[in-house]
Amino acid sequence: MAAAGPAEVVVVGSCMTDLVSLTTRLPKAGETIHGHKFFIGFGGKGANQCIQAARLGAKTLMICKVGKDSFGNDYIENFKRNGISTDFVGQTEDAATGAASIIVNSEVKTLFNPAPAHAELDPQFYTHSDIFCCNESEAEILTGIPVGSPEDAGKVGLVLLERGCKLVIVTLGAEGCVMISVDEPIPKHVPAGKVRAVDTTGAGDSFVGALAFFMACYPNLSMEEVIRKSNFIASVSVQASGTQSSYPYRKDLPQDLF
Answer with the entry of ligand ATP, ligand NAG, none that 48 interacts with (C-beta below 5 to 8 A by kind). none
Does 101 sit near ligand ATP (CB under 6 A)?
no
Residue of 199, 205, 252, 256 marked active site:
205
Q: By CB under 6 A, name the one of 205, 211, 214, 248 that touches ligand ATP.
A: 205
Rounded-to-integer distance, Cα 5 and Cα 229, Å? 25
Q: How many Å from the N-terminal Cα to the C-terminal Cα in the chain?
A: 18
Please name every residue paired with 190 in a beta bridge, in sequence order, or none if there are none.
Answer: 177
- Return the residue of 111, 165, 192, 215 that touches ligand ATP, per CB under 6 A: 192
Q: What sign results for the dihedral spanned by CA atoms 21, 25, 31, 34?
A: negative
**Dihedral sign, CA of 244, 247, 252, 257?**
negative
* Residue of 130, 131, 112 lying closest to 122 (CA atoms): 112
> Which lies closer to ligand NAG via its Cβ, residue 86 or residue 135?
135
Q: How do beta strands 131-135 and 60-67 pair? A: unpaired
The answer to whether residue 197 forms part of the interface with ligand ATP (CB under 6 A) is: yes
Q: Which amino acid is at 125?
A: F
Q: Is the peptide bond before 116 cis (omega within 30 degrees of 0)?
A: yes
Closest separation in Å from C-beta 106 to ligand NAG: 13
Q: Determine how many CB atoms are found less than 10 A away from the CB of residue 173.
A: 15
For ligand NAG, which is the closer residue by CB, 138 or 152? 138
Least CB distance to ligand ATP at residue 149 (A): 13
Q: How far is the CB of 204 from ligand NAG (least distance, A)?
A: 6
Least distance to ligand ATP, CB of residue 173, Å: 4
In the bound complex, which residue of the shown chain has the CB atom lying closest to ligand NAG? 115
Instruction: Using CB under 6 A, list all residues that contact ligand NAG.
Output: 115-117, 135-138, 204, 220
Q: Is 205 a catalytic residue?
A: yes
Residue 193's contacts (CB-CB under 8 Å, 6 or more residues apart) are 231, 232, 235
Q: Which of ligand NAG, ligand ATP, none does residue 117 bind (CB under 5 to 8 Å by kind)?
A: ligand NAG
**Closest-CA residue to 209 (of 180, 175, 244, 239):** 244
Q: Which residues are catalytic?
A: 205
- The binding site for ligand ATP (CB under 6 A) comprises 135, 171-174, 176-177, 192, 195, 197, 200-205, 207, 231, 234-235, 238
